[in-house]
Each structure stands twice: as structure tokens, then as C-alpha cells.
Amino acid sequence: MDHESRAAVRRLALVLLFGGAASPAFAHTIEGAGGFAAGFAHPLLGPDHLVAMVAVGLWGAFLGPPAIVLLPITFPLVMALGGVIGIAGLPLPATETAIALSAIVLGLMVALAARPPLWLAALTVGAFAIFHGYAHGRELPDDANAVAFAAGFVIATGLLHLTGIAFGLLTRWPAGRIAVRAAGGGIALVGIGYLGGLL
């Protein structure tokens, strides 16, 4: 990984860390069942969400710059929009199916070492992010602070992306490349299992 890529990853990590440090602004909602803490935990407790978000980081690392920064930034930004749609109670059909497909597709992109044009990779990630955000928004507890809850799930998502990036950096070595592609295959299998449970 070259100096520019390392610098980009450090910048992304700092943004997420400072974003996490800023969370005390929502201190009055952290104690509640539906505040920042609940939003932060939400992506971590659903394996379907978790693996898809790690896959975004893996794929970004696999593709290298600028995708290593663009994909993990695109997902939470668009996911926040999906969260707003969910909180507003607007309908979005086939949400759970789309979430399962996101794990399958993103996992396969890593497993197959797919290298589409950057715009198509970002569009794919963004399209799935809407459904993930929508699911988080729809599950907002009635007494929750929507802003604090959304901040929680966006920051947790960013940290999951960083986890994927960190593992994805193993692609610098032949054995690491195999491990990353195998992880992508495992993510796709989780998605297939989840989709099977929906059918």
C-alpha cells in the first residue's frame, strides 16, 4: 500500500474517531433504550448487516485508492438517507431481501476479485446502503431520539468498514489475498443463508 493510500485510511479513521468522540453531544439520550447506544449496537447485533458492512471495507481495500476511501464514505452517507426514509415511515418494498442480496453481491465482489468502474462500485454500495439505513430507521424505538440513534448506527457502520479495510489490507501478500477472497465467499454464504430464511 503506497503512502497516499495509508494517509487516506488514516484520515478516514480520524474522521470516525472524532465522530465517535463527538457523541457525548447526545448525552441526554445515551442512557435511554433508543438513544446513541442503541443505534450504535444495532448494526453489530444483526449478522446480515454486520457482514455486508465489513464487505464494503474489504472491497474498498481490494480495489485500492480511491475506492478504499470512497466506498466506506458512500455507504454511511447514503445509509443515513435510508434511515430518514425509515424513520418517516415511508414504504420501501423488499427491504430484508435487499439486505440479504447486499451480503451476497458484496461478498461475491470480493470473492471474485471484481474490479468494476469506480462509479459502478459506488452505485452498488449506495443502492444497498439505502435498504440497510431504512431497516435501522424503521426499528427506531418510539421513545428514541432519532438524531442520536442515527448517529450511533452511522458511526458503528463506519467502524465496521474500518474493520473490513484493516483485514482487506492483507491483499498486499498472496496468502492475504486468498484470505480476503475467502472472507468474501463466507460473507456471500451468510447472505445466502439469510435469504433462504426469508423465502
Q: Is the dihedral of CA 91, 130, 133, 85 positive or negative?
A: negative
Question: Which of 66, 185, 43 has the alpha carbon at shortest distance from 121?
Answer: 66
What was the pLDDT predicted at 142?
75
Residue pLDDT, tens place only, 77-106: 999 899 899 989 999 999 999 999 999 999
Percentage of the residues of the chain whose pLDDT score is greater than 90:
58
What is the pTM assigned to this prediction? 0.80
Q: Is the pLDDT of residue 112 over 70?
A: yes
Mean pLDDT in residue range 40-59: 90
Residue pLDDT, tens place only, 160-174: 999 999 999 999 899
Supply the mean pLDDT for the chain: 83
What was the pLDDT predicted at 2?
53
Confidence of residue 4 (pLDDT cuts 50, 70, 90): low
